[in-house]
Every structure is written in C-alpha cells, then in structure tokens.
Amino acid sequence: MRSPFRPATPPDPRILDDHRALIGSIERRNLLRGGLSLGALTMLTGCDVNEASSVQRALLSISRFNDRVQAALFDPDKLAPEYPKSMVLKPPRFNAYYEIEKVKPVDGESWRLELAGFISDRRSWTRQQMAELPQREMVIRHICVEGWDYIGEWSGVPLRTFLERVGADLTARYVAFRTADDYPSSIDMATALHPQTLLSTAYAGAVLPDPFGYPLRLRTSTKLGFKNPKWITAIEVTNTYRGGYWEDRGFNWHSGL
C-alpha cells in the first residue's frame, strides 16, 4: 500500500523494464488495453510503485484479480474436445524448465504418493495401489504457452475418483502438487473435479516414459501445459493459495477454461 512516509516523487519509468514478461502476459489477456503505464498501475492497485518489489507485487495482484474472474467463468460441465487415436503423437513432445538430458528418473518401486491437508485418510499410495483404482482414458490437445501443441492419449485414475476415495474435503479451494524436480503446482477444486482431469500413469497405452512424468503426472484437458505437473510426489488439499513454478514468475494462475 502507499507509504505515508514517502514523498510523492515521480517514479522512474525504467522501473517497469524488469517486468516486461509479466506485463506482456497481462496485456495479452486484454486486462489493460492500450498498454500499462506506471500511473495506471498506481491507480489500479493503490500501491506505491517506486520500488521494484512493489511493482512486482502490483502486477501480481492484477494477475490474481484476473484469475478470480476466470475461475468464476469456469464451467465444470464443459468438456474439452477429444480426438481420434490416429491423431496421437508418438512419442509426445517433451518440455520442462530444463533440457530432457537433465531428467532424473523416479524409481517406481520406492516411489510413494504422499497426502496432506484436508484429507481424512492420509496414508501414502504405491504404484500398485494406484493401478487398482478405476481408470479412464482421453485423447486431448496439450497446449504450451511457448506456442506449440500436440494431441496425446493419456490414461489413469480421474483425480475426482482419487479425492473421493481418500476422503478429501471437496469444498476446499485448491489442490496443490509437489514433484520430484521441485516444480510446485496448484489448481482450483472445480478443475480438480472435472471429468477430464486425470492422475495419469500411461501414454498411448504404455507406462509413462521417464521424461513424461513416470510414475504419476497430472493431465488436465482444460489447462495450459505448465499446469500439468509431472513426477508428482505429494498432493495437498488446501484453502491456502500455493501458486506454482511459473505462476510465481508471473504467469496467470488460472491459465485455462
């Protein structure tokens, strides 16, 4: 908020230069037509934008506002398009915040899925136990913010089925994920309960290859690629906003339908 101790000196416009990516993402979402000026930013947020850290905070608060609007528009009954299996890309296209050579395979035998937060049975799960749950398969389009996409065939247990089985509080706001490569991620409960949101263990009918999230990754049909954490090690049901790897760097948290 505006500091009572600071004189109202005109801010240095160069202060925005460090935040071009975040500003670009806000502008692309049409939240601020005609570009973002420091004056507009101060007016919109009531923040003192003389400091780089408060610029960052102001931009993130605009981004969060947009998230709330988008979450309100989310229609849980709207299904994303599915495609014929003949269109499935084999192998899928890899992406992560590092190169494919740096992928550290997860050992499926010692792997456990840990549970936390508003869940009544927080015992951990093995691969075998996950495989015994009801499975679903879907052929959907994966879209990355970098501007590429592919059609993939994913199978696994619907996240809704899993959350019901462990006694999760389905009225909580968020489902958050931790992963073996330190890529935190979180989604709203409506998306978690969507019929096309899976805890996926297979691609094109075969066990997930290491680069694509073995043994367990999230696969949503209503979210951009970066909201699909791979190599999941823990799930938390929470009312606390947990952000995510790219979200904490300015990407829109909702990023989807």
- Spatial contact of 48 and 234, defined as CB atoms under 8 Å apart: no
Does 229 participate in binding ligand MTE (rule CB under 6 A)?
yes
Minimum gap (Å) between residue 187 Cβ and ligand MTE? 12
Cβ proximity to ligand MTE: between 94 and 241 the closer is: 94
Q: Is the dihedral of CA 159, 164, 169, 170 positive or negative?
A: positive
Q: Residue 232: helix, strand or coil by DSSP?
A: strand
Does 231 participate in binding ligand MTE (rule CB under 6 A)?
yes
Helix, strand, coil percentages, rounded to 5, for the chain: 30, 25, 45
Going residue by residue from 160 to 179, which x/- string records binding to ligand MTE, judged by CB under 6 A? -------------------x
Length of the chain: 257
Backbone angles phi, psi at 84, to 5 degrees: -70, 150
Beta bridge partners, 143, equal 149
Does 234 participate in binding ligand MTE (rule CB under 6 A)?
no
Cis amide leading into 11 (omega within 30): no
Out of 19, 194, 230, 254, the only residue in the binding site for ligand MTE (CB under 6 A) is 230
Going residue by residue from 178 to 197, which x/- string records binding to ligand MTE, judged by CB under 6 A? -x-x-x--------------
Name the one range near ligand MTE by CB under 6 A: 118-126, 133-141, 157-165, 222-230. 222-230
Cβ proximity to ligand MTE: between 60 and 103 the closer is: 103
Minimum gap (Å) between residue 148 Cβ and ligand MTE? 8
Taking CB within 5 to 8 Å according to partner kind, which of Mo ion, ligand MTE, none is near residue 231? ligand MTE
How far is 88 from 40, CA to CA, in rounded Å? 46
Name the one range near Mo ion by CB under 5 A: 61-69, 113-121, 225-233, 236-244. 225-233
State in Å, rounded, how far the first CA of the chain is from the last one.
32
Does 92 participate in binding Mo ion (rule CB under 5 A)?
no
Does 25 participate in binding ligand MTE (rule CB under 6 A)?
no
How far is 140 from 85, CA to CA, in rounded Å? 10
How far is 232 from 230, CA to CA, in rounded Å? 6
- DSSP assignment letter at 33: T
Does 93 participate in binding ligand MTE (rule CB under 6 A)?
yes
Does 223 participate in binding ligand MTE (rule CB under 6 A)?
no
How far is 174 from 239, CA to CA, in rounded Å? 6
Residues that bind ligand MTE (CB under 6 A): 92-97, 142, 144, 179, 181, 183, 212, 225-226, 228-231
